[in-house]
Amino acid sequence: MIRVLLVDDQHLIRAGLRMLCDAQPDIEVVGEADNGREAVSLAARLLPDVVVMDLRMPGVDGITATSRILAERPATRILVLTTFGDDDHLYPALTAGACGFLLKDAPPADLLDGVRRAAAGDSPFSQEVLRRLVQRAVHARAETPSPAQGLTAREQDVLNLVAEGLSNTEIADRLHIGVTTVKTHITSLMTKTASPNRVRLALFARGL
């Protein structure tokens, strides 16, 4: 059972997400918060596997809440739900430790898949969000690590598929290797590219 904490200052959005999650046999909503301060408190008490986090909230925002939650419990997975107006918040949320980004208007199946992938250790992000992150990086000329040296051919294959947004299982199927092997390659790639998470690794693969 995947324990989920919903964080959004809009009651209707939380209610919709709860109905969606409650209908799943493997997902349990353990709590709701309408601000970042409450989210930090509930995360410490309820120990969710995944926190579905809004970014724009009064008082303590989603970025600060993400940072505080992960400082207390690094294993928590923070899945950000964003809108087209949140471009300025994407990189700060990434730096704070968010593991994935999905659009609020994504199909219900994509949102549920995102929760499951986040809980499994993947970093789900919509292609639209990735495109905006890339554009933001280009526009800001963000500093990035120098190209990694010594990538094996298989690591390069895995890196390319991470950039396409594939999950570990999808990469394993595409390359005809085991999921454990994929995880090993990704761990090595993060070390070699100095990428703290999967999204940064995807940006690295795109040369940003």
Instruction: Specify the pTM.
Output: 0.69
pLDDT at 42: 97
CATH number of the domain that residue 49 is part of:
3.40.50.2300
Structural domain range at position 64: 2-124
pLDDT (average), residues 200-205: 78
Could you tell me which residue, 207 or 154, shows the higher pLDDT?
154
138 within domain boundaries: no
Task: Provide the domain count of the chain.
Answer: 2
Rounded to a whole number, what is the largest CA-CA distance in the chain?
50
Last residue of a domain, one of 57, 92, 124: 124
Residue 187 CA to residue 194 CA, distance in Å, equals 10
State whether 38 and 115 are in the same domain: yes
State whether 68 and 167 are in the same domain: no
| Element holding 114 (H helix, E strand) | helix 108-119
| DSSP structure class, residue 32 | E
State whether 118 and 183 are in the same domain: no
The size of the chain, in residues, is 208
Could you tell me which residue, 87 or 6, shows the higher pLDDT?
6
pLDDT at 144: 45
State whether 66 and 104 are in the same domain: yes
